[in-house]
Amino acid sequence: MIEGKLKSLKKALLYSYQAATAILSDGREFRCLINPDKNKPAYDNKILSIPYKDICLNSFREENEKTSKG
C-alpha cells in the first residue's frame, strides 16, 4: 500500500495541475504538490507533499540520470 501511494504521488508530480517546484531557503529545488488544507476553515493554509527520498533538481547529476531513482 505504501509503495502504491508513493507511485501515485510521483505520477501526480508529473501530471497534476497542483504540482509545482518548491525552492527552499538554502536554494535547493524539489517537485511538490500543493493542496488546500480541507480540515481547517482558513483557505490560505496549504499542504505540501514532497517525497522523502527525492533528488534535488538543481544538484549535480550525470547527463542521463533521472530525477527520481527506480
**Where exactly are the structural domains of the chain?**
7-49
**What does the longest C-alpha to C-alpha distance in the chain come to?**
46
Q: pTM of this prediction?
A: 0.65
Residues 6+ apart with CB under 8 A from 16: 33
Give mean pLDDT, residues 26-44.
Answer: 82
Q: How sure is the predictor about 62, in pLDDT bands with cuts at 50, 70 and 90?
A: low
The Cα–Cα gap between 39 and 45 comes to 10
Other CB atoms within 10 A of residue 24 CB: 10
Q: Which of 38, 39, 21, 43 is nearest to 30 (CA)?
A: 21
What is the phi/psi pair of residue 61, to 5°?
Answer: -135, 160
